[in-house]
Structure 1
Amino acid sequence: MPEPNEPSAALLLKAILRVLDEGSIAALATLTNARKNVGTKILVAESGDAVGSFGDVALDRVVAKRTPGFLESRDEAHLFHVRDFAPELTEWAEASILFERLEPEPRLVICGAGHVGAALARLASLTGYKATLIDDRPDFVVRDRFPDGRIELIAAQNWSDAVREAIGSGRGVSVAVVTRGHNEDEECLRAVIATDADYVGLIGSKRRTNMVLDRLREAGADVEKLRKVHAPIGLDIGAVTPEEVALAILSEMVADRRGGTGGSLSSWRRESELGKGKQVR
């Protein structure tokens, strides 16, 4: 008799490829420690649809039920003991299941190939993003400037069409609007907020970004989507050079994607030492 996962291996692979092609997310759960069926897998999409089996309907069901919580945590992987989330399944009490997050590689669409946009595209590629760099000046998006093949270069005939096409469904996509002027910013941002991009940021001072957002608001743009725009874009790290500005922008994008705060990891130490000092006095 074949193992529970053998007949469904092809279906499981097909389901994984579909998740990646559609730009959606899912969890791949693998039975890693148990009295039987070790190595069996089940893929659970965020929609709740499941493919595969551990050879036990009850175990399949509780793992599918546990999946949304794992996906919301944004962890890349987590090892769970069955007893921790399904104590009623005494037969599997000592078993452990590895949950792994499946999603396409993150994408970054950059509007504007000036100094900051160019630096951002290069840095994003180094950190695992598939970057798309768009500009309406063909000379700014030539391969001689960007030999990295992971950076897609688009010379836009018009900003709106190029931006919407590059963003697509918006799932897993961050967008940075870093063009050379108010008009270009407005045109790009108008196209961006018509999509469902995960993250949208606009470069510029408070005054400049407010000007662009106000124009779009007055033109009838979706107020809720405008409210979600990170403007000015990036974390405050005191950035000066284009490369530093790019780092500030990408840091905020990563924090947003991973659920980070953007704060200092060592702040607890100073707060703790300050508290001790107060107690001594």
Structure 2
Amino acid sequence: MSIDVFEEIVRLRKERVPAALATVVSAKGSTPAKMTTRMLVTAMGRVCGTVGGGCVEADVIRAARDVIDTGRPRTLSFKLVGEEAERTGIACGGIVDVMVEPLEDPRVVIVGAGHVGQAVARLATDVGLQVTVVDDRPDFANAERFPAADEIIVAELDALRDAVGVGPRTSILVMTRGHAEDYGVLRWALTTPAGRIGVLGSRSKRKRFIDDLRAEGHDTDRIDNVSMPVGLDLGAETVPEIAVSIVAELIAHRRGVRPAHA
């Protein structure tokens, strides 16, 4: 990997710019790409590096944009012989496999720095998630109460669009101090590309929120995918148990499993 790609990865991670990394994982026969050759593609279409050029690269760029949108990795295989060679414009007789993966790390944004938020943050860190804690109260959102959090943001809850970066591998958990605050944050979350949105609350609260969101004209599919009450059905009652059920749901989503819901 060239130093330019290394530097770009560091910069994009720091700025949380959505991007995908394409890596040649197999190169057999005569090919223009060598093993571990890499190319970085951002959501805006900026490219750094190469995986061989021609239509191979064009296909990889298209796949990278899909990976950025979905947060799910893909592997592409190119046989540079016959019709495939004519299509790609690279007739060298080899076979190239390219893995395309999202650059964004799995992350959870916890909006609400109360007791449940504290417990969820601890467990989420333990299972390898990047943790961002958001609240409008500095006495709650601070390093003393959230020592393991990767990021702590103190911001007004009606100004999260500019304060919090969100990508497709981000899960947003809404657990503020009140129903009105929860609803406002949920409205913001629905406008983001977050891969998962969960809200702490009851089924009656879900019905009320869903009805209001539909009346406001929010995307129906997006609304239906909101997890509320968030957490797997474990019969949880205490704060630590509720946190376990919520993090278990995050793990299930991360692994592509569809378990029973609370």
- Global fold match (TM > 0.5): yes
8 Å contact from structure 1 (residues 41, 53) kept in 2: yes
**What residue ranges of structure 1 are gaps of 5+ in the alignment?**
264-281
TM-aligned CA deviation for residue 66 of structure 1: 6.4
Q: Which residue of 1 aligns with 2:171?
A: 174
1:125 aligns with 2:121: no
8 Å contact from structure 2 (residues 183, 209) kept in 1: yes
Q: Which residue of 2 aligns with 1:279?
A: none
Matching residue within 41, 48, 59 for 1:45: 41
CA distance in 1, matches of 2:134, 2:170: 15
1:197 aligns with 2:194: yes
RMSD after superposition: 3.7
Q: Which residue of 2 aligns with 1:235?
A: 232
Specify the structure having the higher radius of gyration (Cα): 1
With the length of structure 2 as denominator, give the TM-score of the two structures.
Answer: 0.72
Q: Which residue of 1 aligns with 2:24?
A: 30
SS in 1 for 2:247: helix
Shift in CA distance, 234/23, structure 1 to aligned 2, threshold 3 Å: farther
**What residue ranges of structure 2 are gaps of 5+ in the alignment?**
86-90
SS in 1 for 2:198: strand
Shift in CA distance, 85/16, structure 1 to aligned 2, threshold 3 Å: farther
How many residues end up aligned between the 2 structures?
Answer: 249
TM-aligned CA deviation for residue 207 of structure 1: 0.8
CA distance in 1, matches of 2:66, 2:190: 29
8 Å contact from structure 1 (residues 109, 166) kept in 2: no
The 5 Å alignment of 1:1-281 reads: 9-17=2-10, 19-20=12-13, 21-30=15-24, 32-35=26-29, 38-39=34-35, 41-43=37-39, 45=41, 50-53=47-50, 57=54, 60=57, 74-75=72-73, 82-83=78-79, 88-89=84-85, 91-93=92-94, 95=95, 97=97, 99-148=99-148, 150-156=149-155, 158-161=156-159, 163-218=160-215, 220=216, 222-224=218-220, 225-262=222-259
TM-aligned CA deviation for residue 113 of structure 1: 2.0
TM-aligned CA deviation for residue 99 of structure 1: 1.6
More helix by share: 1
CA distance in 2, matches of 1:126, 1:245: 16
TM-aligned CA deviation for residue 91 of structure 1: 4.7
Identity of aligned residues (%): 31
CA distance in 1, matches of 2:42, 2:255: 17
8 Å contact from structure 2 (residues 72, 102) kept in 1: no
Write out per-residue CA displacement over residues 92-113 of structure 1, whole angstroms, 9 at most, x where no aligned residue.
44x4535252412233221222
With the length of structure 1 as denominator, give the TM-score of the two structures.
Answer: 0.68
CA distance in 2, matches of 1:189, 1:110: 12
